[in-house]
Amino acid sequence: MDDAQFQIRLIHGLAEVDRDAWDAIANPPSLPYDPFLSWDFLQTLEATRAAAPETGWSPHHLLVEAPGQGLIGAMPLYLKMHSQGEFVFDHSWADAYERAGGAYYPKLLSAVPFTPVTGRRRLVKPGPDETRIANTLLSGAVQIAHQNDLSSLHVNFVTEEDAARMDASGMMIRTDQQFHWLNNGYESFDDFLAVLSSAKRKNLRKERLKAQDGLTFEHLTGSDITEAHWDAFFEFYMDTGERKWGSPYLNRDTFSLLSERMGDRILLILALEDGEPIAGALNLIGSERLYGRYWGTVSPRPMLHFETCYYQAIDFAIKHGLQVVEAGAQGGHKLARGYVPVTTYSAHWIAHEGLADAVNEYLDRERRAVRREAGFLNERTPFRKDGQENSS
């Protein structure tokens, strides 16, 4: 297809796009299902005003269409008035630019709001025109930023493959790391424990016993999740959010609409004491991955966070044949629980040449530091080394 046949336009909300047309390029059958790219998830954030101009997340999604075919490519974009809720921290860049007299905000961001999950950001069906459509999306986003005198374009949590392509297109690449649990064909939690060193295995068992003492745990999906469950979980979510970052991103309506639209993709893990929920963790279910998103409790106790968020998620992943558990951003404490370091990527374009040069130099040093830390951590995973004893 001739690039001249592509029609590019911006929209200011996913309500302007047919749900099936969006999902056809966001989650084509040939690729693993990513719940965060679905129309249901992204539009719910807009419909409940979690991602909206008044919260500093103004939708400006980029579409590519073709005559007779309709929507063939898209890039979720947001005009940002701050750097909150991104998990790729550029506050120092903003401070440096503004001290020099520049205006860093507004900026343009391609990401899933409030969600540090790696995935596709240039949504195109695999096929012969995939590369050209993807290039059109990226060049179109840069052009939008440039023509509107925006300071920068940021594309957060891209795949390693797409980071390489964006690097070749002139974007600056940033790396960081998360900790993921990998399912190596385990049939039970004990199978997973068996590959850990003896000391770590005993420690995890003790943690689980301590956390489970006096409690029961429920795994709820779909219609089993009631509004009463969401009321309880929202209390947990607000308590954690207010303590950790001051202004939780989602509102009560967000959880209800997500449950209504995509309940079968939600796993709500609740810890119960005498039948009443005292803690919970919200996860989303992909075709290959379980994504831990939010957690909270009204009754803090030792190891409850690890049990509810990490070990219960592993139990679910093993039972349902999921290959990876992603438990959110950061958290070196996950290493001792069998979660291993994984590199994450983002891509950046900055209009001001001087700031771009300074950031590029910084990113080069940062990438080397991330590689060194990953090597250091990989030597300290809890897994047995060759020849290590396998006592219980």
Angle at CA of residue 61, ends 56 and 62, nearest 5°: 145
Angle at CA of residue 299, ends 294 and 231, nearest 5°: 55
Beta carbons of 74 and 64 less than 8 angstroms apart? yes
The pTM (predicted TM-score) of the whole model is: 0.95
3-178+342-378 against 184-322: fold identical = yes
| Tokens, residue 89 | 């921290």
3-state SS class at 30: coil
Q: Where are the beta strands (DSSP E) in the chain?
A: 7-11, 57-59, 61-66, 70-75, 78-80, 107-110, 123-124, 152-158, 172-182, 216-220, 266-273, 276-285, 289-297, 324-329, 340-350
| CATH number listed for the domain at residues 3-178+342-378 | 3.40.630.30
d(CA 154, CA 205): 42
User: For the segment 19-76, what is each residue's pLDDT rounded down to a tens digit?
Assistant: 999 999 999 999 999 999 999 999 999 999 999 999 999 999 999 999 999 999 999 9
User: For the segment 159-213, what is each residue's pLDDT rounded down to a tens digit?
Assistant: 999 999 999 999 999 999 999 999 999 999 999 999 999 999 999 999 999 999 9
**Closest residue by Cα to residue 38 from 225, 227, 266:** 266
| CATH number listed for the domain at residues 184-322 | 3.40.630.30
Beta carbons of 190 and 146 less than 8 angstroms apart? no
Average pLDDT over residues 351-378: 96
- Kindly list the domain boundaries of the chain, sorted by start residue: 3-178+342-378, 184-322
